[in-house]
Structure 1
Amino acid sequence: MEVRVQLFGFGNVGRAVARVLLEKERFFREKYGLSFRVVSVSDTSGTAWLPEGIDLKEALLVKENFGRLSAWTNDYEVYNFSPSDAVKEIESDVVIDVTNDGNAHLWHLEALKEGKAVVTSNKPPLAFHYAELMGESEKRGLPYLFEATVMAGTPIIGVLRENLLADSVERIRAVLNATTTFILTRMEQGVDFERALKQAQELGIAERDPSGDVMGIDAGYKATILHCVAFKPITFDRISVNGIVEVTVDEVKRALAKGRRIRLVATVEEGKVTVAPEEVTGPLAVSTNENVALIESDLLGGLLLKGAGAGLKETASGVVSDLVKASLRLMEG
Structure 2
Amino acid sequence: MEVRLSLFGFGNVGKAVAEVLLGKDFLFRKRHGMTFKVVSISDTSGTIWLPEGIDLREALLVKRSFGKLSAWTNEYEVYNLSPEEAVREVDADVVVDVTNDKNAHRWHLIAIKEGKGVVTSNKPPLAFHYAELVGEAERRTIPYLFEATVMAGTPIIGLLRENILGDSVRSIRAVLNATTTFILSKMEQGLEFEMALKHAQKLGIAETDPSEDIQGIDAGYKATILHSLVFGPKTFRDAEVRGIVGLNPENLKEARKLGMRTRLVATVEREKILVRPEKVPANSPLAVENNENAAILETDLLGRIVLKGPGAGPKETASGVVSDIIKAAKLLG
Please state which band the TM-score falls in when normalised by the shorter chain.
Answer: over 0.9
Counterpart of 2:57 in 1: which secondary structure? helix
Q: How does 1:107-186 map to 2 (within 5 A)?
A: 107-186=107-186
Q: How does 1:131-280 map to 2 (within 5 A)?
A: 131-280=131-280
Structure 1 position 255, deviation (Å): 1.2
Deviations 1:89-124 (Å, cap 9, x if unpaired)? 110100000000000000000000111000000000
Structure 1 position 193, deviation (Å): 0.5
Aligned match of 2:42: 42
Determine whether 1:303 maps to 2:305: yes
Structure 1 position 140, deviation (Å): 1.1
Q: Which moved more, 1:253-262 or 1:140-149?
A: 253-262
Structure 1 position 133, deviation (Å): 0.1
Aligned match of 2:324: 322
Distance 2:248 2:291 in 1: 21
Aligned match of 2:315: 313
Aligned match of 2:13: 13
Structure 1 position 215, deviation (Å): 0.3
Distance 2:195 2:246 in 1: 14
Structure 1 position 257, deviation (Å): 2.5
Structure 1 position 254, deviation (Å): 2.1
Distance 1:71 1:285 in 2: 45
Distance 2:139 2:59 in 1: 35
Deviations 1:122-163 (Å, cap 9, x if unpaired)? 000000000000111011111000000000000000000001
Distance 1:205 1:156 in 2: 22
| TM-score normalized by the length of structure 1 | 0.99
Unaligned runs of 5+ in 2: none
| TM-score normalized by the length of structure 2 | 0.99
Structure 1 position 258, deviation (Å): 2.0
Distance 1:56 1:288 in 2: 31
Aligned residues: 331
Structure 1 position 207, deviation (Å): 0.1
Aligned match of 1:288: 290
Structure 2: which amino acid aligns with 1:283? P
Counterpart of 2:312 in 1: which secondary structure? coil
Structure 1 position 74, deviation (Å): 1.5
Distance 1:276 1:115 in 2: 40
Unaligned runs of 5+ in 1: none
Structure 1 position 256, deviation (Å): 1.2
**Please, what is the CA RMSD of the aligned residues?**
0.6
Structure 1: which amino acid aligns with 2:146? F
